[in-house]
Amino acid sequence: MAQVALITGITGQDGSYLAELLLGHSYEVHGLVRGDGDGLERISGLAGRLELHEGDLLDGESLAAAVSASAPDEIYNLAAPSFVATSWEDPARTAEMAGVSVARLLEVVRSDRPQARFYQASSSEIFGRGSGEPLDESAPLSPRSPYGAAKAYAHLLTAAYRESYGLFACSGILFNHESPRRGLEYVTRKITWHAAAISLGLAEGVALGDLDAERDWGYAADYVEAMWLILQREEPGDFVVATGQAHTVRECVEVAFDEAGLADWERYVTRDPRFTRPADVVRLTGDASRARRELGWEPSTNFDELIRMMVRSDLALLSTEAPPGG
């Protein structure tokens, strides 16, 4: 009998890649989706192969109904607002969506499906400022945004349910991971889309925040494999998933504009303080030694390959919109 998985956030970047991965492993895949249909285009190619259940992270009854209907062996909780900057605009809703909702879902698992294996999408933002050195699972939590604080609560709560109730509950502490399916509000996709648009004559420039901010960027399709591997172990645990390499926003711009055939990127990029967050995290780098050692996981796509892949995707996406001769 096929393994059954329930993915919350299945229409997001990570959810769509994870659904493809699990189907490739012959899973029966169920997904929780909102009634507004947001993001369904990311899983349109999987039509007929998924069972979708309408629900909301803020509605415990809908979560219980989805778990009851799918009877999953594995639950991947990926649904939450993941754009850090907007968490400052509505910190209370961020706390509900990224923090309190995890308590609701864990309660459903504990009472209705305690044998299921549970994966919580944690985040490098729980570490906040960090120490400047690559961060592993033992690094202290010091979030610097409402999003990071909500994720820290969910991370600690998942461990508490594991230790208190014996649930197979795990967190993957994922550092930044991108892909052509990233939303346009994220800085990497904002850069690659604008590089493509400028090269096609569809845009004149792009405004960015701190070009010196550094992140550990990996490829989302690699990272969902780590999620799956975390739930295949004999014992539950938490794992950092990262490349261990930091790159600046400026490096992202340089690679993207080079791939788009625009040699002098400085002609097109302006700085705008509106895109600088309060109490921003300047540098975050992860140490995924445990994942390499215990999961056998390795990222397959480096930073340069990732950004160039995203630019090529955006060029293909936008090419039909280019003006004649553009």
Task: Give catalytic residues, as residue numbers.
Answer: 123, 125, 147
Q: How many CA atoms lie within 13 A of 313 on its CB side?
A: 18
Six token digits for residue 290: 């445990």
